[in-house]
Structure 1
Amino acid sequence: MSAETASSSTAGPPAPVQRPTRRFTGRNNRGGRSVILSQPGGYSTEAVYRPPQPIRGGIPICFPKFFDEEFLEKHGFARTEVWILTHDTAFPPPTPDHAYVDFLLDHKPDDFQDWPNHKFELRLRVILGPTGDLTMTTRVKNVNTNGEPFAFKFAYHSYFSVSNILATRIEGLQGLDYRDYLNHNQFTEEADVLTFEEELDRAYLNTPDEIRIRDLELRRVITIHKDDSLPEIVVWNPWEDDAGLISDFGYEEYKEMICVEAAAMDSEITLNPNEEWTATQRLSAKEY
């Protein structure tokens, strides 16, 4: 039967939704073990897998620092340390049509001098849904036994692949104040959509719970759904000059990427002993 004569009454049933899967790998030449959550139709970007080099791509976790008073970038140690695979009983497992994995980080490198020797637990649950939605929930707990509080900042440093940065739009930021890290000043966003024509590095304040990345060439919208624990959105693209200065960043790759990061970094979060902070973001995509 030709495509022209097929109809809804004669076509076969739709293909079943394929469930995501979880797979553990052994040690390899990339430096260690991996946990791979897979959903058909997904893809990954090239990066350097060589500890302690942070991976240029994916969703690095920025903790406990982000930017200091002089606007110098300090992402902290969470994205370069080895995490422990665990099982977090604080949250119930998702339904069987989801794949998930739990991680724990409870140590810092000896040479990280910007944060005292606090005892902490940084837990991360990653859930991949049957339609490709990716949910990440983070819990930070102060487990100091000396009664000392500690303060931190946090961000999901998310890299997104786009077809063309010139055909990429960020929606949901109009009317918001933002800090511009390129000229060290604060402004208000007047445009109804954010477009890209040069290097951009900003932190938008008091943002709504949903921010959209619209890819005009792919006709695809990626939505960042986040809770109130992540009030800021950081938007970054290095553009041509800065891309050429980043050793693990391809010279032309700025044309096909954008970082849009749900964050808590405008003011520090302070936890007393036994107190806990929780934040969640969910990423979804659809064609239009």
Structure 2
Amino acid sequence: MTACQLTWQALGAQLLQARTGGVELLYLSPWYYTKAQRAARGGVPVLFPQFAERGPLKKHGWARDVEWVLTHNASGADSHVLEWEWTCGGAGQPTWPHQAHLRLRAQATASGLEMQLHVHNTGTSAFEWTGGLHPYWVVGNLLECRLTGLQGVSVSDRYNASRTFEAREAVQCSGQAYESLYDTPGPVCLELPSHTVKLSMTGFDQWMVWNPGAHEAQRLTDMPAADWQRFVCIEPVRVSRPCRLQPGGSFTGTLKAEWWPNSDGMGRR
């Protein structure tokens, strides 16, 4: 196996795993390969044109449920680049009377992972959309991790509005589901005992932090129940402020994950 390698499926142009410099960044349910399920629990699903149930469409839209076209695949000793395209709207989605062309790019390098989502309005009517990227970051034990960079940041609308992160607070679910939408585009750091992952974004303007916890994980049929402790979703999204695109208009959102080993166990270099 090379030091930088991406695995994926055409359905949803979904990254499944991202090995960067010998470190795996993404969680993927071990049942994906053994139960022959088309949908994958883990990796990086694309959410478009609707986030969750925030509108009349299917939950999280349908970008993750259709096959995209792989247009580029270049791998070497120190990099792996993938690009996909997908055209949506028209007869394929009668409940969404618009047209759009999407491009997704992913690149793994020794220092991390970069992704770019481009949305172009190819129709004759303006539309608004919500969504983004839904990465599952792999951890050895969620309760031994910290998520920093959200201290003092407001929490938006219905998502656990009473909860905020204090400096260096652990992402600790204690068995309960955690779901909070943080109203900032600023970078955050996921600190594991072995290494730290710094996440930054452009274009997107909020972070969604989600983990099912022990109780909700019991109801998920596509992963072992105990695996709720093996990942946390930290997602760059557009939710509270939908992105409006006029005919011919476009949007580009990026996600960058950089990692480095910790020299003092838990903490910074």
Q: 5+ residue gaps in structure 2? A: 263-269
Match in the other structure for 1:200: 178
Is 1:211 the counterpart of 2:188 in the alignment?
Answer: yes
Match in the other structure for 1:80: 65
Do 1:47 and 1:248's aligned partners in 2 also have CA atoms closer than 8 Å? yes
Q: Judging changes above 3 Å, is the alpha-carbon distance between structure 1 residues 254 and 22 closer, same or farther for their aligned structure 2 residues? A: closer
Structure 1 length normalisation: TM-score? 0.75
In structure 2, distance between residues paired with 1:260 and 1:203:
10
Q: Which residue identity does 1:138 align to in structure 2?
A: L
Which is greater in Rg? 1
| Among 166, 170, 179, the residue aligned to 2:156 | 179
Q: Which residue identity does 1:160 align to in structure 2?
A: W
Do 2:112 and 2:257's aligned partners in 1 also have CA atoms closer than 8 Å? yes
Is 1:160 the counterpart of 2:137 in the alignment?
Answer: yes
Match in the other structure for 1:122: 102
TM superposition shift of 1:116: 1.3
Q: Secondary structure at the match of 1:106?
A: strand
| Among 233, 245, 270, the residue aligned to 2:219 | 245
Is 1:104 the counterpart of 2:69 in the alignment?
Answer: no
Do 1:81 and 1:108's aligned partners in 2 also have CA atoms closer than 8 Å? no
In structure 1, distance between residues paired with 2:122 and 2:200:
29
Q: 5+ residue gaps in structure 1? A: 1-17
Structure 2 length normalisation: TM-score? 0.79
Aligned length: 252
Q: C-alpha deviations, 1:165-190, integer Å up to 9, x for none?
A: 21111100011111375xx5634625
Q: Which residue identity does 2:148 align to in structure 1?
A: E
Q: Which residue identity does 1:151 align to in structure 2?
A: E
Match in the other structure for 1:281: 255
In structure 1, distance between residues paired with 2:133 and 2:8:
23
Q: Judging changes above 3 Å, is the alpha-carbon distance between structure 1 residues 230 and 106 closer, same or farther for their aligned structure 2 residues? A: same
Do 1:37 and 1:99's aligned partners in 2 also have CA atoms closer than 8 Å? no
Q: Judging changes above 3 Å, is the alpha-carbon distance between structure 1 residues 122 and 24 closer, same or farther for their aligned structure 2 residues? A: closer
Q: Which residue identity does 1:164 align to in structure 2?
A: N
Match in the other structure for 2:115: 136
Do 2:70 and 2:83's aligned partners in 1 also have CA atoms closer than 8 Å? yes
Q: C-alpha deviations, 1:134-153, integer Å up to 9, x for none?
A: 11011100001xx2111111
Q: Secondary structure at the match of 2:64?
A: coil
Q: Judging changes above 3 Å, is the alpha-carbon distance between structure 1 residues 108 and 249 closer, same or farther for their aligned structure 2 residues? A: farther
Do 2:180 and 2:208's aligned partners in 1 also have CA atoms closer than 8 Å? yes
Q: C-alpha deviations, 1:84-125, integer Å up to 9, x for none?
A: 01259xxxx999953212100113696756x51322101011
Do 1:177 and 1:204's aligned partners in 2 also have CA atoms closer than 8 Å? yes
Q: Which residue identity does 1:123 align to in structure 2?
A: R
TM superposition shift of 1:68: 3.5
In structure 2, distance between residues paired with 1:222 and 1:240:
24
Q: Which residue identity does 1:102 align to in structure 2?
A: E
Match in the other structure for 1:169: 146
